[in-house]
Amino acid sequence: HSLDAFILDTDHDNIRVFREALNGPPGRHTKRSVFQEIDFFTSGNANVKHNTIAREKLGIEKMSRPNVGGGERGKKQIPPHYWLEYLDIQPQRQLDMLDILHISAARDAETHDSNFSSFFWNISQNVSKEKHRSAVPGIAGCISPGGEFFVTNLGRPLLGSEKLLVQGIPYFRLALGSESEVELGDLAGNAMSLTVVCATMLAALTCHQLRTECPH
Write down the pTM of the prediction.
0.82
Whether residue 158 contacts residue 149, with contact meaning beta carbons closer than 8 Å, is answered with yes
User: CB within 8 A of 195, min separation 6: which ones?
Assistant: 168
Q: Which has the closest alpha carbon to 20: 189, 183, 187, 181?
A: 181
Cα angle value 28/10/99 (rounded, 5°): 60
Check if the beta carbon of residue 117 is closer than 8 Å to that of residue 137: yes
For residues 4 and 134, what is the distance between their CA atoms, to the nearest angstrom?
18
Better-scored residue on pLDDT, 8 or 69? 8
- What does the pLDDT read at residue 74? 56
Q: pLDDT band for 130, please (50, 70, 90 cuts).
A: confident
pLDDT at 167 over 80: yes
Tell me what pLDDT residue 135 has.
64
Per-residue model confidence (pLDDT) at position 216: 64
Angle ∠(135,184,159) on CA atoms, nearest 5: 45
Beta strands in 111-158 (DSSP E): 120-122, 149-151, 156-157
Q: CB under 8 Å to 128, separation ≥6 — which residues?
A: 50, 53, 54
Residue 59 pLDDT level (bands cut at 50, 70, 90): confident
Residues sharing a CB contact under 8 Å with residue 31, sequence separation 6 or more, in sequence order:
88, 89
Q: Are 31 and 71 in contact (CB under 8 A)?
A: no
- Please tell me the predicted confidence (pLDDT) of residue 210: 79
What is the rounded CA–CA span in Å between residue 81 and residue 84?
Answer: 9
